[in-house]
Amino acid sequence: MDNRDDIKYCGKTKKYCYTSEAKAQRSLNAYEQIKRVYHCDHCDCWHTTKISGGKAFELGIIEAEERRSISPKRIRKEIRKLKNKLKE
In the complex, the residues that contact Zn ion under the rule CB under 5 A are 10, 13, 40, 42-43
* CB distance 62 to 53 below 8 Å: yes
Cβ atoms of residues 50 and 24 within 8 Å: no
C-alpha span between 27 and 25 (Å, rounded): 5
Shortest Cβ distance from residue 11 to Zn ion (Å)?
Answer: 7
Kindly tell me which of 49 and 62 has the beta carbon lying closer to Zn ion. 49
Least separation in angstroms between residue 64's CB and Zn ion is 31
Give whichever of 41 and 66 is closer to Zn ion, judged by the CB atom. Answer: 41
Q: Based on CB atoms, which residue is closest to Zn ion, 34 or 40?
A: 40
Half-sphere exposure of residue 81, counting CA atoms within 13 Å on the CB side?
Answer: 6
* Shortest reach from residue 27's CB to Zn ion, in Å: 15
